[in-house]
Amino acid sequence: MVLEKVKAILSEQFDVEEDSITPDTSIAEDLDADSLDVVDLLMSIEDEFEIEVPDTEVENIKTVADLVKYIEDHV
């Protein structure tokens, strides 16, 4: 469920097909996300899941799986 919501957000934000997003997808490399894209993404994630992602955690979130695990651990 979390993965599906994350894939939908990523698909909309980066204009890619949801089917092309896997847990191993690199946010920076595969989705070509720069630092501003990551900030926008995290704002969307925070709104959707009603959590806060501190700046100190951002560097640990490299893949879709990392993001999903962070969300699951904090909701």
Q: Closest Cα to residue 10, out of 1, 2, 21?
A: 21
Any catalytic annotation for residue 47? no
Q: Select which of 15, 19, 24, 34 is catalytic.
A: 34
* 30-to-1, 13, 18 alpha-carbon distances in Å: 22, 13, 13
Give the residue numbers marked as catalytic. 34
